[in-house]
């Protein structure tokens, strides 16, 4: 579920429910996520006012007001592979499996972090030093920023002997793409996933940049369209999965092949991850 568009959607949902609120209560049920939770997490959350949110790559940052006169603290959240936020009104108290953290707001809402595989993580960082956190410090450009353009991508790919697919998954090259959106953007750019990063031309890089941005924006729009449903316990986010053109479509015909019927979407494994692509269209 959680690549950049999903994280953006989750962040907006949290923003709508939490911004300006005070956390009345915080409960940690399991501290052993991807990394051990800060020992003082409950104490730091309890009584804190939520000032606002920001997303960086696939991380959500929740800024808390200072309690002490010192600088404020930010909560750094990553959803991992299976993490989601569950938002419901107080009173619907049925226990939720794998809900490792639960917050209660001063206006009676419960916000839970649910993550069966526990690849997610939560840490605290001084707000003034958010980007210096070890998990954020090495990240590449935000794909939706104007600063992410063909020149930047080209320079980043230069000399790399790894397939373009793997390079785009590398968060130091561009931050926030995951397996689905890399597959989709490469299909829309008609670039073969096995092509070496160093061999991607300036024109192809320009196409990639433009298709990455378009794909992400469309996905965010689709997630946003179902934002009100985001509180549902099934946790389903958005409708973009219905717009996947190659991901998860092995054997189906792609919608771009001209002339004779498409030979069918292929699946190969690259550095341990499935890649879906059209072998005729993508060169």
Partner DNA sequence: CAAGAATCCTGTCAGC
Partner DNA sequence: TGCTGACAGGATTCTT
Residues designated catalytic: 2-3, 58, 273
* Burial of residue 94 (number of CB atoms within 10 Å: 0-12, 13-18, 19+): exposed
- The answer to whether residue 63 forms part of the interface with DNA (CB under 7 A) is no
Applying CB under 7 A, among 70, 97, 147, 260 the residue interacting with DNA is: 97
Token code pair at residue 247? 């991901």
- Least CB distance to DNA at residue 160 (A): 4
Applying CB under 7 A, among 11, 37, 61, 80 the residue interacting with DNA is: 80
Token code pair at residue 62? 């929740």
- The answer to whether residue 178 forms part of the interface with DNA (CB under 7 A) is yes
- The answer to whether residue 256 forms part of the interface with DNA (CB under 7 A) is no
Instruction: Report the Cα 60 to chain-centroid distance in Å.
Output: 9
Applying CB under 7 A, among 67, 81, 132, 217 the residue interacting with DNA is: 81
- The answer to whether residue 31 forms part of the interface with DNA (CB under 7 A) is no
Applying CB under 7 A, among 46, 162, 210, 226 the residue interacting with DNA is: 162
CA-based torsion, 80, 252, 182, 275: positive or negative: positive
- Least CB distance to DNA at residue 39 (A): 19
Q: How far apart (Å, rounded) are the C-alpha atoms in residues 127 and 190?
A: 41
- The answer to whether residue 245 forms part of the interface with DNA (CB under 7 A) is no
- The answer to whether residue 56 forms part of the interface with DNA (CB under 7 A) is no
Applying CB under 7 A, among 31, 52, 116, 264 the residue interacting with DNA is: 116
Neighbours of 208 (CB within 10 A): 25
Applying CB under 7 A, among 161, 258, 259, 261 the residue interacting with DNA is: 161
- The answer to whether residue 239 forms part of the interface with DNA (CB under 7 A) is no
- The answer to whether residue 66 forms part of the interface with DNA (CB under 7 A) is no
Among the candidate windows 19-27, 40-48, 209-217, 270-278, which touches DNA by CB under 7 A? 270-278
Phi, psi of 280 (to 5 degrees): -90, -45
Applying CB under 7 A, among 102, 274, 279, 280 the residue interacting with DNA is: 274
- The answer to whether residue 271 forms part of the interface with DNA (CB under 7 A) is yes
Angstrom distances, CA of residue 74 to CA of 71, 123, 124, 129, 176: 10, 8, 6, 9, 20
The DSSP annotation for 213-281 comes to HHHHHHHHHHHHHTGGGGGSTT----SGGGG-SSTT-TTSPPS---SSPP---EEEEETTEEEEE-TTT
For residues 278 and 266, is the Cβ–Cβ distance under 8 A?
yes
For residues 2 and 58, is the Cβ–Cβ distance under 8 A?
yes
- The answer to whether residue 242 forms part of the interface with DNA (CB under 7 A) is no
Q: Which residues contact 183 (CB under 8 A, 6 or more apart)?
A: 165, 193, 246, 247, 275, 276, 277
- The answer to whether residue 104 forms part of the interface with DNA (CB under 7 A) is no
- Contacting positions for DNA (CB under 7 A): 1-3, 6, 34, 57-58, 78, 80-82, 97-98, 116-119, 135, 160-163, 166, 169, 171, 178-180, 197, 241, 271-274
């Amino acid at each position: 579920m959680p690549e950049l568009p999903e994280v953006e959607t989750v962040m907006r949902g949290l923003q709508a429910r939490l911004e300006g609120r005070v956390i009345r209560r915080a409960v940690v049920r399991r501290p052993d996520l991807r990394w051990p939770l800060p020992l003082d997490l409950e104490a730091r959350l309890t009584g804190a006012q939520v000032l606002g949110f920001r997303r960086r790559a696939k991380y959500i940052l929740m800024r808390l007001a200072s309690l002490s006169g010192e600088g404020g603290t930010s909560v750094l959240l990553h959803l991992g592979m299976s993490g989601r936020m569950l938002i419901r009104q107080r009173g619907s108290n049925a226990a939720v499996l794998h809900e490792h953290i639960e917050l209660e707001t001063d206006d009676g809402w419960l916000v839970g972090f649910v993550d069966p595989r526990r690849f997610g993580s939560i840490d605290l960082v001084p707000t003034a030093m958010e980007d210096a956190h070890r998990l954020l410090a090495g990240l590449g450009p935000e794909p939706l920023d104007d600063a992410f353009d063909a020149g930047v991508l080209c320079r980043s790919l230069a000399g790399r002997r790894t397939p373009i697919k793997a390079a785009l998954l590398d968060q130091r090259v561009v931050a926030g793409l995951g397996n689905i959106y890399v597959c989709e953007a490469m299909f829309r750019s008609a670039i073969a996933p096995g092509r070496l990063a160093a061999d991607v031309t300036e024109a192809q890089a320009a196409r990639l940049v433009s298709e990455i941005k378009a794909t992400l924006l469309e996905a965010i729009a689709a997630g946003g369209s179902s934002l009100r449903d985001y509180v549902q316990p099934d946790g389903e986010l958005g409708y973009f999965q219905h717009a996947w053109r190659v991901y998860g479509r092995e054997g189906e015909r792609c919608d771009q092949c001209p002339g004779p019927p498409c030979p069918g979407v292929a699946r190969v494994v690259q550095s341990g991850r499935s890649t879906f692509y059209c072998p005729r269209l993508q060169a």
